[in-house]
Amino acid sequence: MDRIDRQRDFTGTKEVAGALRFAVTRLEEYLNRNVEGFAGPLTAQQFKGGQSNPTYLLTTPARRYVLRRKPPGKLLPSAHAVDREFRVIAALHRQGFPVAEPVILCNDPDVIGTAFYVMSHVEGRVIWEPDMPGVTPPERAATYDAMNATLTQLHTFDPQAIGLSDFGRGENYVARQVERWSKQYRASETGRVEAMEQLIAWLPQHLPPQGPVRLVHGDFRLDNVILAANEPKVLAVLDWELSTLGDPLADFSYHLMQWHMPRSDSGADTGSLVGCDLAALGIPSLENYVGDYVKRTGLDPRPHLTFYLAYNFFRLAAIVQGIVGRVRDGTATSAHAAARAQMVKPLADKAWEFAEET
């Protein structure tokens, strides 16, 4: 198997994969009727990156858009809720938070086969490797600071004040997430992973205290933000599929996993800073990055950080197992989805290391 070059292989678009094709003319007719200022002809290409909700670049002579849809076929319970994605970016866009402008939500499966939404296309850079190859140390430092500030802004919103008080249950978030991802893991399980069995039993018995309820992204990392072309500024945060109300410290500590992420010989990992000379690169140490978040929010994950990291590596292992399940079921959206299967055990083993440290 060829090694995955994340920057090369996940950047840009490709022809729409066979199982994910739809009638572009039908979509064009729908947008023409329902979106002010829309005018065809319309073409559609599929973005290379992403593993869950298929994402397409829509191009017209005057403007470009982005479409995200539920994948076709058998889906895990509660997954791929594009209506929730649309709702949260609409609420955040009204607050001036960096997200793409929402355009339209369509729950009618007759248009392209599944529910979908359309948002504006944001022109900028997506950097897939957390060590940011080819970027100067000062720009790396400023980019990491911008990410920290962006996540801080998200975690300081009052959900009720921005119209999202009913966007999730909020309380007992980590306990419910452990239960949810244990079930999702079982639903897509393809073989026994001993560390996952241990974690499914251990995590519910070692939960941290309940923190404040905030809006959480669920998958915040460098490759889920669009940066300005020529400066370290976050223009848009992408991929809100896992967003809900919950524990901001769980959300922030997910973002910290790249400092500990197991590397894969095939490049199938989700990006790692392990083995990097952070000082030479201009990237903050984990301790300093956490300290900046604490200063900005007053929220401190450090007393329970090993639990949060165990939980998040377990959760990511379950998410990756879901991708493996979609490969099995023929509904995976990425050409590299099959390669991700080898990451379930290393992620679970890393989670169990943090559990034992706790």
Q: What is the pTM of this model?
A: 0.90
User: pLDDT tens track of the chain, all 358 residues?
Assistant: 456 777 888 888 899 988 889 999 999 999 999 999 999 999 999 998 765 689 999 999 999 999 999 887 655 555 568 999 999 999 999 999 999 999 999 999 999 999 999 999 999 999 999 999 999 999 999 999 999 999 999 999 999 999 999 999 989 999 999 999 999 999 888 888 999 999 999 999 999 998 899 999 999 999 999 999 999 999 999 999 999 999 999 999 999 999 999 987 655 557 899 999 999 999 999 999 999 999 999 999 999 999 999 999 999 999 889 877 666 666 555 555 556 668 899 999 999 999 999 8
Q: What angle do CA 84, 85, 86 make, to 5 degrees?
A: 90
Tokens encoding 220: 């915040």
pLDDT in tens, 39-89: 999 999 999 876 568 999 999 999 999 999 988 765 555 556 899 999 999
pLDDT in tens, 77-133: 555 689 999 999 999 999 999 999 999 999 999 999 999 999 999 999 999 999 999
Domain 6-120 has CATH 3.30.200.20: yes
Distances (CA, A) of 210 to 39, 207, 244, 294, 301: 50, 9, 16, 17, 12
Topology (CATH) of 137-357: Aminoglycoside 3'-phosphotransferase; Chain: A, domain 2 (3.90.1200)
Burial 166-197 (b: 16+ CB within 10 A, else e): ebbebeebbeebbeebbebbeebbeeebebbe
Segments making up each domain of the chain, as ranges: 6-120, 137-357
107 C-beta neighbours (distance < 10 Å), count: 13
Distance CA 279, CA 96 (A): 33
* Closest C-alpha to 241, from 18, 57, 68, 10: 68
